[in-house]
Structure 1
Amino acid sequence: MNRICQVVGRLMWLVALPLAMPLSLAHGAAVTDALNTPAMRAPQAQHAVLLDLARAGTRLVAVGERGIVLLSDDNGKSWRQAEVPVSVSLTAVQFIDADTGWAVGHAGVVLVSRDGGEHWRLQLDGNRAAQLELQAARQQLSTASDPDAAAARVQTAERFVSEGQDKPFLALKFVDELHGLIVGAYGLAFHTDDGGRTWQSLMGRIDNPMGAHLYAIARQGEHWFVAGEQGYLARSDDAGQSFMALQSPYAGSFFALQIRDDGTLLAAGLKGNAFVSNDLGESFQPAPVALPVSFSDAIRTDDGQLLLVNQSGALFRTSGQSGAFLKPYGQPLGIPVASVVEAADGSLVLAGFTGLARVSPPTAIASE
């Protein structure tokens, strides 16, 4: 598959999506206009293409195409649109509490909200991100023990600058109001220690020589994990300051990465492939499911278990019982799903190609 097509995010069904902003349009005036144009009010925004969900306290926040951000204060029963200063597609969102959260997306956009998603402010864009990477690459070159590798990094960074703001961020993870990591296409990786007021490139400290697209982030204490295309997996043992590639159990892309309360790491992606590790990624075992449909998201539920959703809307849940690690959860929804979140009342809210859906939690896990 064309690498550019993969950039649209964790979901392969978005490759052919005409409504989301394709990278072929993310050049010059088109993106500049989108960065300077607030998201339009959409009368049927809850049926737009929505790519990610998060909880802000008891509030739900959904983000998606053309800068749409929706808020729900009744566990997903009704939604209203927030004010957003850009109209580029947003791919991921996270809140650390009821007030403070971030969203990332196309054109290298990073947005912050301090009022539960009601209003957003632009913190970073693709032009600035490329300049930051070029500065870091040149600094590395001046002190590099491997001048050839450092020079190659500078050349890549110079190309990023010349290409402009055409590369999306695809995942983010904040641990508190100050410290966060964002990753995206072509190995983009930046971290902040001051809540996003400033950002530093991590691309020289991630073992990703081919520039694999990075789709997901997970964290357990000092250990951080990233996952991406072509089976890419990496771990940090120094609180996200540097990453070393892991031996991958699979050559296909991983779109979902999550850690259960007991420390079990789960990586899932193309064609229903899922793998678990109980030794911080040193080894993996298959977690087979019957459906060869790509996984799109994984969350940790309030009871510490993991819940996965695939692109056909089928749900799978981990179990503390012996036997199969992943078990079907309820009935397949039959709709394309990008993201799932557990609402404060225990219901599940899902986002995807056809907008938002809300389902009551299944009463029991289906038998094996």
Structure 2
Amino acid sequence: MNVEQCFASFARRWGACVLASCLLANSAIAAPATTFAALQQSALPTAKAPRAVLLGLTRAGERLVAVGERGIVLLSDDSGTTWRQARVPVSVSLTAVQFVDAEQGWAVGHLGVVLHTQDGGETWQKQLDGQRAIALAVQFAERDVNQPDGTSHLAQARRMLDDGPDKPFLDLYFSDRLHGYVVGAYNQIFRTDDGGRSWQPWMRHVDNPQGLNLYGIRAVVNDLWLVGERGLLLRSTDAGQSFQALKSPYEGSFFGLLGTRDGALVVYGLRGNAWWSGDRGNSWRRLDTGIESTLASALQLRDGGLLLASQSGELLFSHDQGRSFDKRQSRSGGTLAAVQQAVDGSLTSVGLTGVAADQDPRAAGQP
């Protein structure tokens, strides 16, 4: 991974551990045993885990699940008041997590790791890592070499093989217990139709000839979206069979996308930039966020409102389906990476200084 990709990955999840992991991965050729040992070493239990660098946060039913550096996974069953550490078979940094119900969830991270849980996050199993991912990419590219653009896809797969299996996954999307995608650096995208028991490289289905980083993936109504660096916006209207690039309103990186209940879109990224579309991404209007900090996370609240959160801890709320946002509150305590609404309506965030719970439901836009 080159320096530009390292800093892009750092920008995506706001953790010092991400940059450190990139630099470590960059030394894979010189010290492969040291680098990839983290794929075999379980995350160490530590009482300091709630104060570790945490990069992803989600809900599993009524439970909160946070993931972060050194394979740490934390669980809270009291809306973020107390946390306990789960058992994880790897010690690489985990960047994102999603559950489709109270039991079934997946997490992704550095060195191409994909983890799966069937018990609400109590225990995790590795389904994929960078070594297997690269082998699959080469295998499928060699099989499809006679297809349109097959030669270029094979060349790209072989370059990834030469670089080493150190590329991070940065986001994921599962529609149910069987069907999902993981995405990451260098246009990495893999698809599963059996809950992660097997994976297919999906790069040749994506209109991204420069191999730009993919930072986010989300479904909005009947479309599936990818966002990435240099203003990359890709839309699939055929259930993920193909992703077509759209004209972007912005040349900087997009780190995420949020869909509203009425099908509108909000994309967000560097320097407080956020854009709104009411026509499935065919045109965009810039939103006046009033901030200059990079937007790190977005969330639809249970009352229908929308929340944007900056890496500096600024919270922006919208009650008109994303057409405008108002700054309500600034959260202190370190850089923010992700925010989630707990079952009691309060907000919990994670970042460089671990977890921070706000037990006032009014902070989440409640009456």
* TM-score above 0.5, yes or no: yes
- Which residue number corresponds to residue 183 of structure 1? 183
| Alpha-carbon distance in structure 1 between the residues aligned to 2:199 and 2:266 | 29
Q: Structure 2 length normalisation: TM-score?
A: 0.93
- Which residue number corresponds to residue 326 of structure 2? 327
What is the CA-CA distance between 1:302 and the residue it aligns to? 1.4
| Alpha-carbon distance in structure 2 between the residues aligned to 1:230 and 1:66 | 29
What is the CA-CA distance between 1:286 and the residue it aligns to? 0.5
| Alpha-carbon distance in structure 1 between the residues aligned to 2:270 and 2:364 | 27
| Alpha-carbon distance in structure 2 between the residues aligned to 1:302 and 1:285 | 25
Tell me, yes or no, if structure 1 residue 84 matches structure 2 residue 83: no
Show the 5 A alignment for 1:1-368: 2-8=4-10, 10-11=12-13, 13-14=14-15, 17=16, 21-26=20-25, 27=28, 28-144=32-148, 149-320=149-320, 325-333=324-332, 335-359=334-358, 360-362=360-362
| Alpha-carbon distance in structure 1 between the residues aligned to 2:203 and 2:8 | 19
Query: Runs of 5+ in structure 1 lacking a partner?
Result: none
Render the CA deviation track for 1:126-152: whole Å, top value 9, x for unaligned. Answer: 0111111112222221233xxxx4322
Q: Structure 1 length normalisation: TM-score?
A: 0.93
Render the CA deviation track for 1:45-87: whole Å, top value 9, x for unaligned. Answer: 1000000001000000000001000000000000000000000
1:42–1:21: structure 2 CA closer, same or farther, 3 Å change rule? Answer: farther
Helix, strand or coil for the counterpart of 2:361? coil
What amino acid does structure 2 have at the position aligned with 1:3? Q
Aligned CA RMSD, in angstroms, stands at 1.9
Helix, strand or coil for the counterpart of 1:117? coil
What is the CA-CA distance between 1:188 and the residue it aligns to? 0.3
Query: Runs of 5+ in structure 2 lacking a partner?
Result: none
Q: For the Cα contact (< 8 Å) 2:18–2:93, is it kept in 1?
A: no
| Alpha-carbon distance in structure 2 between the residues aligned to 1:138 and 1:213 | 23
Render the CA deviation track for 1:320-359: whole Å, top value 9, x for unaligned. Answer: 289x611113344363100000000000000000110011
| Alpha-carbon distance in structure 1 between the residues aligned to 2:112 and 2:23 | 15
Q: For the Cα contact (< 8 Å) 1:111–1:120, is it kept in 2?
A: yes
Q: For the Cα contact (< 8 Å) 1:21–1:66, is it kept in 2?
A: no
Helix, strand or coil for the counterpart of 2:349? strand
How many residue pairs match? The answer is 358
Q: For the Cα contact (< 8 Å) 1:184–1:215, is it kept in 2?
A: yes
| Alpha-carbon distance in structure 1 between the residues aligned to 2:161 and 2:337 | 31
| Alpha-carbon distance in structure 1 between the residues aligned to 2:34 and 2:128 | 18
What amino acid does structure 1 have at the position aligned with 2:76? S
Query: Sequence identity of aligned pairs in percent?
Result: 48
Helix, strand or coil for the counterpart of 1:143? coil
